């Protein structure tokens, strides 16, 4: 039996509940600024519960995430010391702050796109993009492309494979979380070593 089965069952139940779409939008928005839980964990069961609305749910994730990203960008731009640095400290990236600056100076939109696609905390990307004065339109375009690809890829897989994805998740949810964790760690290493 999966160690995370109770959490997965809760997500399946929440996916069918009234107001789930609103919760998805809130999670997508707040994850772009400070919340540690990725919206994918809610998007997957919701799209499975309403497969015909998978792309609509992905669009809600994208728009909410982008709006949160804009808030994160301007928090970083105007209030990095007061609001952004505590979040950077929380994720243990304070000593990497200057390395992230070099990463942005070197890779610009690619840095934003990598964070948008991977489990690298997108909130760190949004805050530092503002703090390091990344061109706002470059930030928006890279965010739309990377976050859109991520959310719509999930929706597409669910739309195409439906219940097979659910059965896979029910049997292998621990493995999925381990893979997400490994990808997250790899993302932190990318921030550390890509200069």
- As a whole number of angstroms, the distance between CA 9 and CA 106 comes to 43
User: Do residues 165 and 48 make contact, with C-beta atoms less than 8 angstroms apart?
Assistant: yes
- As a whole number of angstroms, the distance between CA 65 and CA 34 comes to 12
Burial label, 85 (beta-carbon count in 10 A; 0-12, 13-18, 19+)? middle
Q: Model's pTM, two decimal places?
A: 0.76
One digit per residue, pLDDT tens: the chain, 195 residues?
A: 444 456 556 666 766 677 889 989 998 999 898 887 788 888 888 888 888 899 999 999 999 999 999 999 999 999 998 988 888 888 777 776 777 777 777 777 677 777 666 656 788 888 888 998 989 998 998 899 888 888 998 899 888 888 777 677 656 655 665 665 566 556 555 555 554
129 CB contacts (<8 Å, ≥6 apart)?
Answer: 72, 73, 76, 104, 111, 112, 139
Q: What are phi and psi of 135, to 5 degrees?
A: -50, 125
Domain ranges of the chain: 5-193
């Amino acid at each position: 039996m999966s160690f995370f089965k109770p959490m997965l069952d809760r997500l399946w139940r929440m996916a069918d509940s009234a107001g789930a779409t609103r919760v998805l939008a809130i999670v997508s928005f707040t994850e772009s600024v400070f919340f540690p839980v990725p919206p994918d964990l809610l998007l997957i069961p919701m799209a499975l519960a309403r497969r015909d609305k998978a792309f609509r749910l992905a669009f809600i994730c994208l728009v909410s995430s982008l709006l949160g990203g804009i808030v994160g960008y301007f928090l970083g731009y105007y209030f990095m010391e007061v609001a952004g640095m505590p979040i950077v400290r929380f994720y243990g990236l304070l000593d990497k702050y200057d390395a992230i600056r070099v990463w942005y100076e070197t890779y610009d939109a690619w840095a934003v796109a990598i964070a948008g696609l991977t489990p690298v905390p997108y909130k760190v990307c949004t805050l530092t993009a503002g703090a390091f004065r990344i061109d706002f339109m470059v930030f928006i375009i890279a965010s739309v492309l990377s976050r859109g690809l991520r959310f719509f890829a999930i929706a597409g897989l669910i739309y195409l494979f439906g219940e097979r994805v659910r059965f896979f998740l029910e049997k292998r949810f621990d493995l999925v979380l381990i893979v997400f964790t490994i990808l997250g760690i790899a993302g932190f290493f990318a921030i550390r070593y890509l200069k």
